Amino acid sequence: MNYYSTNNRNVKVSLREAVIQGLAPDNGLYMPESIPILPAFFFQSLQRLSFQEIGFEVAKSLIGNDIPESELKRIVDHTIQFDAPLVEIENDIFSLELFHGPTLAFKDFGARFLSGLLGYFASQQDKEITILVATSGDTGSAVANGFFNVPGTKVIVLYPSGKVSDIQEKQFTTLGGNITALEIDGTFDDCQRLVKQAFTDDDLKQKHFLTSANSINIARLIPQSFYYFNAFSQLKERQKSVVFSVPSGNFGNVTAGLIAKRMGLPIQQFIAATNQNDIVPAYLRTKLFSPRPSVQTISNAMDVGNPSNFARMLDLYQHDFDGLLKDITGFHYSDEETNDAMRSIFKSKNYTLDPHGAIGYLGLKDYFRTHSNTVGIFLETAHPAKFDKVVQRAIESEVKMPARLQEFMGLTKKSIRMRSDFEYLREFLVGL
């Protein structure tokens, strides 16, 4: 399978090049040259397949023969060592719990898959791979833990100072070893901009074997498609249309779902549910894409003012606005609405949402006002304990912290404070 740049379909590379480069030389994002439709017997047997078997079949279709099947199976099995259960919250409304991995966030799937691929590629060369990643919270912890002590790799995590939760910060600033945390005086968008600038700096690329672990890397998106298929395998109701409500920041999760739909998964509609950083919902209303500086909210992992994966969404629909609008509905919510949803569900259903899942839930409720005979699934992207202070204030009850998070909180933070000017990052990377 070849992969092309969203800025130029004639720029095509192998899987290895796409994964290691992360970002195309022309600043575009890589997409698979074709998205195969899975055979009918795969969908007929979906309920009988394990999560690992589902993931392997999907990955094999998207990757082809670029790596040996035995190696791909090993990587998929390494990626999926925990479940993603569907939990019914209300009649025909389900939470897809994606927080049962080692850092209790959906990004464990992508980070573990990417670390497996890059570890495989690193073993085939002499030069160490340096991974740059910008995070608004969960990406940093998932990537840092996924790559911790992976031979032949070094990870640099850039995060906005004071804009991630204490628990998220501890998960990637306390590891040491091959993990370095850079605390940037700015926003997530500043961190993302710095990473992109590094990839266009010829001197840095000559000195370091640079790649990215953000959702701009195609290897992050591939495993995120797995759990859409797995969610369908758990549904007993087959007579109703299925919609997914996706709490969205950089829009990697929505893009992965759209790829799953292109592969034949019968998803009726996607709901792009955001906080006040409503760039894509505003586009779906106005046809105008207007990035702006992100604003800080209690759903901080979605505080993105210029979502990178929007380019992939447009590419999938060949920039056809009407086609995009047919498959995606957008809603956005304030912190007050998010708090109200967490409080209401806890009191009425005894179920604890995190702020991001609460926004996904609200998206379904709004969609259901005008659509019937539908099953709705919202993505619960992180364990509520990762946002314990926010959640506890909302539900007025203690959130039990899992043991693995408690262990991180007892460790010492190690980070390097840095201004958001590229020259500072450049100087740091040159000195490595």
pLDDT above 90: residue 27? no
Give, in order, the Cα–Cα distances in Å from 161 to each of 166, 296, 305, 409, 419: 11, 12, 17, 18, 10
Q: Encode pLDDT of 218-257 as tens digits.
A: 998 999 999 999 999 999 877 899 999 999 999 999 999 9
Give, in order, the Cα–Cα distances in Å from 209 to each of 119, 149, 212: 13, 17, 10
Q: Encode pLDDT of 102-139 as tens digits.
A: 889 998 999 999 989 988 888 887 788 899 999 877 78
Q: With beta carbons less than 8 A apart as the criterion, state whether 156 and 124 touch.
A: no
0.85 surpassed by pTM: yes
Q: Which residue has the higher pLDDT, 147 or 418?
A: 418
Q: Distance between CA 195 and CA 202 in Å, rounded? A: 13
Domain 82-105+223-401 has CATH 3.40.50.2300: no
Per the listing, tokens 């007050």 go with: 336
- pLDDT class of 318 with cuts at 50, 70, 90: very high
Q: What is the pLDDT of residue 136?
A: 79
Q: Encode pLDDT of 28-46 as tens digits.
A: 999 999 999 999 999 999 9
Residue positions counted in the chain: 432
Q: What is the pLDDT of residue 342?
A: 98
Q: With beta carbons less than 8 A apart as the criterion, state whether 92 and 240 touch.
A: yes
- pLDDT class of 151 with cuts at 50, 70, 90: confident
- Mean predicted lDDT score pLDDT of the chain: 93
- pLDDT class of 212 with cuts at 50, 70, 90: confident
Q: With beta carbons less than 8 A apart as the criterion, state whether 196 and 211 touch.
A: no
Angle, nearest 10°, between helix axes 226-234 and 51-63?
140
Q: With beta carbons less than 8 A apart as the criterion, state whether 225 and 252 touch.
A: no
Please give the radius of gyration of the chain, using alpha carbons only, rounded to the nearest integer: 20
Give the catalytic positions in this structure: 107
Q: What is the identity of the amino acid at 174?
A: T
pLDDT above 80: residue 215? no
Q: Distance between CA 166 and CA 151 in Å, rounded? A: 28
At CB < 8 A and 24+ separation, what contacts does 72-75 make? 74/116, 75/113, 75/116, 75/117, 75/120
Q: What is the pLDDT of residue 213?
A: 81
The strand pairing partners of 241, in sequence order, are 374
- pLDDT class of 301 with cuts at 50, 70, 90: confident
- pLDDT class of 405 with cuts at 50, 70, 90: confident
Q: Which of 67-76, 210-219, 235-244, 334-343 has the lowest mean pLDDT?
A: 210-219
Q: Encode pLDDT of 256-266 as tens digits.
A: 999 999 999 99
Q: What is the pLDDT of residue 138?
A: 77
Q: Are strands 3-5 and 8-13 parallel, antiparallel or unpaired?
A: antiparallel
Neighbours of 410 (CB within 10 A): 8
Q: With beta carbons less than 8 A apart as the criterion, state whether 116 and 74 touch.
A: yes
Burial class (CB in 10 A: 0-12, 13-18, 19+), 141: buried
- pLDDT class of 347 with cuts at 50, 70, 90: very high
Q: What is the pLDDT of residue 139?
A: 83
Host H or E run for residue 413:
none
Q: Distance between CA 227 and CA 224 in Å, rounded? A: 6
- pLDDT class of 73 with cuts at 50, 70, 90: very high
Q: Distance between terminal CA atoms of the chain?
A: 34
Of 96, 93, 360, whose CA–CA distance to 233 is shortest? 96
Q: What is the pLDDT of residue 40?
A: 95
Average pLDDT value for residue range 74-91: 96
Question: Which residues, including other chains, have CB under 8 Å from residue 91's CB and lie 6 or more apart?
Answer: none
Give, in order, the Cα–Cα distances in Å from 58 to each of 22, 228, 252: 21, 11, 17
Angle, nearest 10°, between helix axes 138-147 and 166-173?
20
Q: What is the pLDDT of residue 45?
A: 94
pLDDT above 80: residue 193? yes
Sheet containing 269-274, strands listed edge to edge, beginning at the edge strand earlier in sequence = 86-90, 93-97, 374-380, 241-247, 269-274, 328-332
For 299: left if phi > 0, alpha if psi spans -120 to 50, otherwise beta; the answer is beta
Q: With beta carbons less than 8 A apart as the criterion, state whether 136 and 160 touch.
A: yes
Q: Distance between CA 142 and CA 159 in Å, rounded? A: 13
- pLDDT class of 91 with cuts at 50, 70, 90: very high
Question: Which residues, including other chains, have CB under 8 Å from residue 235's CB and lie 6 or more apart?
Answer: 86, 94, 242, 375
∠ CA 385-390-396, nearest 5°, is: 90
Q: Which tokens belong to 280? A: 């894509």
Q: Which tokens belong to 224? A: 């995120």
The helix/strand/coil state of 70 is helix
Q: Encode pLDDT of 269-287 as tens digits.
A: 999 999 999 999 999 999 9
